[in-house]
Amino acid sequence: MAATSDILPRFVKNSSAAPASPTRQACRLKERHLLMLIVVTFILICFGTIFFAPDFGESLRKIDGLGGMQKRVQDIGQDFLLPPPPLANGRRESPLRHDGDQIEDPHVAQDREKLYHKVKAAGDLPPPLAKPRLGADAAAAAAAAQEAGADAGGAAEQRPAVRVAALPPVITGGEDADPVMQFRRRKIKEMMQHAWRGYASYAWGANEVRPVSKRSHSAGIFGRRPMGATIVDAMDTLFIMGMTDEFAEGRLWIKQHLDVSQVDSEVSIFEMNIRYVGGLLSCFALSGDTLFRDRALETARALLPAFDTPTGIPYGLVVPTTGKAKNYGWASGGSSILSELGTLHMEFSYLSDVTGDPQFRRRVQKIRQVLAGLEKPGGLYPNYLHPKTGKWGQRHISVGALGDSFYEYLLKEWLRSGGADREALMLYRHAIGNVTERLVRTSSQGGLTYVSELLNERPNHKMDHLACFIGGLYALGAAKDPDNKTDRYLKIGKEITRTCHESYDRTVTKLGPESFRFTDNLEAKAIKLQERYYILRPEVIESYFVLWRLTGDKKYREWGWEAAQAIEQFCRVEAGFSGIQDVESPAPRHDDVQQSFFLAETLKYLYLLFSDNSLLSLDEWVFNTEAHPLPIKGVNHRYRQLSGS
């Protein structure tokens, strides 16, 4: 029994008689600590919620508030309601009919209209947080672009019936109220994104990209060093389209790498001025970022040795590191070219105003004095002028290649100066009057209006694609210069632009040839194979844009959309857009070059064509020959003239 009682459990009434084992005491102590820990944790959670929950909620609201959510729903909704055109037979087709502005599926149009009115009814919403940028410098550029866009957006929303210049200039945004135009504009922006990605992926820092072979391309006009021509040329287009990330990337490259003074090979004065000086000054006017003004100043200074000639007429080429300058060997016995020496005034005069350095204005005024004092054969300007003798070279006269932008800058410098440069206006009136009387002709077949060339007083019935800008120039002069035969010149501008449209419409690809001719048997057609290429040129679309803005005739938007679809169909490749070698071929070969002016001009003019007229109003801005907008003095508060200059 004793052994059994030792095995069975015992129940002891008096603890003193049978003390608990040390093991059980340790277990009870741990349980008490665990219970106390649970209680403390519970208290901390309760008090922490009271103290910190409001801040946490506020942070959530800042990160993704109602405005951000609604903005994303709006963006997603637009993409959902407006899908990209489907692929058919390997080619992208337009969802629009060719005979009007109707969407193929009427339900899509109805849904888009409903979404548009809902978004408008919601009113102004706070923007979502911006994405992280590429460092402090990139952040500053993006912030400047966003701030400028916010100012512009506010101006676009209020639009009382007063002169546009009375309001802050609209420099981004500017969406048209028409849903069809909204769709088209988004498509052009997508094309810009595709062109930029191809360049950034395969040729970053180089001048241009070869989008077929996916490698860099460098034209001799920019020297032998990588000069980022596509970056500089595209910057204001990126800004206007609201592509702030890409704009910040480009700004960072310009700050860290752009230094024209270190180029040790020949560069073109003309190309460096219109693309680099003009592009950088445009970015300065749009954003207010002084980096762009300073780089424009450095670039222009690197070009100045070309002006050291007996007449002040600049050479066409200069080596920035040595200052050695010369002309092209093929240019009529070492002459300078009219379009090049005459396409400096806008940029150099504006540069003097924003830097306070008068030497740039003095240089171009000297050119003006020489041209004004020369006798013009038949009242016209030959394409060659010798910088040493000050005498005309070969008697070749054209508003196309070699002559084009000289005429453009006479009118536009008067506009840019706010009407102060009356000499420019007088020279324009004289020049355009003689061009009208001696070069403007009508074809014998269909009555198409065109501008011929003269070679030793003999007419050449050929018109370059480059010359198609003059349709818009006639219209611009008619609208802005009330004393200059307004009705007649506007009609001529319309007719020339119609002819240039015919040069597109009569080809297999619906893209215009490099030049086209008029004979007894044909009109507005290229004859020679070497005339049938298209290198993404903008001049025809430029005239569509100007005439749309000045007349409101919807056909110019339709013509522009036809061109955009043709570019998409025949020029788009995996890494961007390429020119084609034969506009008459249903399957043309690509030339494998994405010209920088495609991003600077062609896509910009298309985007503006499908935007509201308030975006970069022609009352406040004037475009240089590379489509870089410069502010009009005395009208546009973004002129940013340096005090005392």
Residue 70 confidence class, pLDDT cut points 50, 70, 90: very low
- For 293, counting Cβ atoms within 10 Å of its Cβ (0-12 exposed, 13-18 middle, 19+ buried), the class is buried
What is the per-residue pLDDT for 447? 97
Structure-model confidence comparison of residues 33 and 162, the more confident one? 33
Which is more confident, 537 or 484? Answer: 537
Identify whether the C-beta of residue 386 lies closer than 8 Å to the C-beta of residue 394: no
The pLDDT of residue 44: 60
The answer for residues whose C-beta is within 8 angstroms of residue 389's C-beta and 6 or more apart is 311
Distance CA 487, CA 306 (A): 41
Residue with token string 């959902």? 80
- Give the closest residue to 79 by CA, choosing from 171, 167, 182: 182
Band of residue 560 on the pLDDT scale cut at 50, 70, 90: very high
pLDDT band per the 50, 70, 90 thresholds, residue 39 = low
Taking residues 537-546, what's their average pLDDT?
98
Instruction: Name, in order, each residue with C-beta under 8 angstroms of 431's C-beta and a sequence gap of 6 or more.
Output: 379, 380, 381, 407, 410
137-154 burial code (b ≥16 CB/10 A, e <16): bbebbbbbbbebbebbbe
**If you ran DSSP here, which 8-state letter would residue 572 be given?**
E
User: Is the model's pLDDT at 224 over the cut of 50?
Assistant: yes
587-641 pLDDT tens trace: 999 999 999 999 999 999 999 999 999 999 999 999 999 999 999 999 999 999 9
Number of H helices, E strands in the chain: 22, 21
pLDDT digits (tens, 9 = 90+) for 562-588: 999 999 999 999 999 999 999 999 999
Q: 20-29, 114-123, 346-355: which has the minimum mean pLDDT? A: 114-123
Q: What is the per-residue pLDDT for 64?
A: 39
Q: What are phi and psi of 141, to 5 degrees?
A: -65, -45
Residues 5-30: pLDDT tens digits? 333 333 333 444 444 444 444 445 56
| pLDDT score for 219 | 76
- Report the pLDDT value the prediction gives residue 31, as an integer from 0 to 100: 65
Mean pLDDT of 428-436: 97
Cα 255 to Cα 238, 272, 279, 341, 640: the distances in Å are: 17, 17, 14, 29, 21
CA 143 to chain centre: 19
Q: For residues 391 and 409, what is the distance between their CA atoms, to the nearest angstrom?
A: 21
pLDDT at 36: 72
Mean pLDDT in residue range 332-360: 98
How confident is the model at residue 33, as a pLDDT?
67
Spatial separation of the C-alpha atoms in residues 558 and 609, rounded to whole Å: 10
Residue from 555, 557, 452, 465 nearest 507 by CA: 465
What is the per-residue pLDDT for 259?
Answer: 97
Give the long-range contacts of residues 285-288, CB within 8 A, separation 24 or more: 285/629, 285/630, 285/631, 285/636, 285/638, 285/639, 285/640, 286/148, 286/171, 286/236, 286/239, 286/240, 286/629, 286/638, 287/141, 287/144, 287/145, 287/148, 287/239, 288/144, 288/148, 288/638, 288/640
**Torsions phi, psi for 20 (to 5 deg):** -70, 150
Q: How far apart are CA 108 and CA 95, in angstroms?
A: 11
Q: Is the pLDDT of residue 167 over 50?
A: yes
Q: Which residues have C-beta within 8 Å of that of residue 537, sequence separation ≥ 6?
A: 465, 466, 512, 514, 597, 602
* pLDDT of residue 135 exceeding 50: no
The count of other CB atoms within 10 Å of the CB of residue 237 is 29
Measured between alpha carbons, how far is 433 from 428 in angstroms, rounded to an integer? 8
**In degrees rounded to 5, what are phi and psi of residue 241?**
-80, -5
Tell me, which fold does domain 133-156+165-422+555-637 have in CATH? Answer: Glycosyltransferase (1.50.10)
Q: What integer pLDDT is reported at residue 43 of this predicted model?
A: 65
Strand 267-268, strand 215-217: pairing: unpaired
Q: What is the mean pLDDT of residues 465-487?
A: 93
Residue 210 belongs to what H/E stretch? strand 208-210
- Cβ proximity of 152 and 614 under 8 Å: no
Question: Which residue's structure tokens are 């041209």?
Answer: 371
User: What average pLDDT does this structure show over 525-548?
Assistant: 98
Measure the CA–CA gap between 630 and 614, rounded to whole angstroms: 16
Name the 3-class secondary structure at 87: strand
Output the average pLDDT for the chain: 83
Quote helix, strand, coil % in the chain, to nearest 5: 55, 10, 35
Domain locations in the chain?
Answer: 133-156+165-422+555-637
The catalytic residues are 514
- Rg over CA atoms, the chain: 33
Q: How many CA atoms lie within 13 A of 276 on its CB side?
A: 28
For residue 608, which of 169, 116, 241 has the smallest C-alpha distance?
Answer: 241
Q: Which two tokens stand for residue 422?
A: 């009356």
Within a 13 Å sphere around the CA of 190, how many CA atoms are in the beta-carbon half?
15
What is the helix (H) or strand (E) element at residue 234, kind and residue range?
helix 229-240
Cα dihedral 378, 383, 386, 390, rounded to 10, equals 30
Give the per-residue pLDDT at 71: 39
Cα dist. 411→169, 285, 509, 632 in Å? 22, 21, 34, 13
Mean pLDDT of the region 484-488? 85
Q: What pLDDT sits at residue 75?
A: 40
As a whole number of angstroms, the distance between CA 350 and CA 642 comes to: 10
What tens digit of pLDDT does each residue of 168-182 get? Answer: 889 999 999 999 999
**Distance (Å, rounded) from C-alpha 143 to C-alpha 166?**
25
Distances (CA, A) of 633 to 109, 353, 417, 607, 630: 42, 10, 5, 25, 9
Q: What percent of the chain has pLDDT over 70?
A: 74
Confidence of residue 38 (pLDDT cuts 50, 70, 90): confident
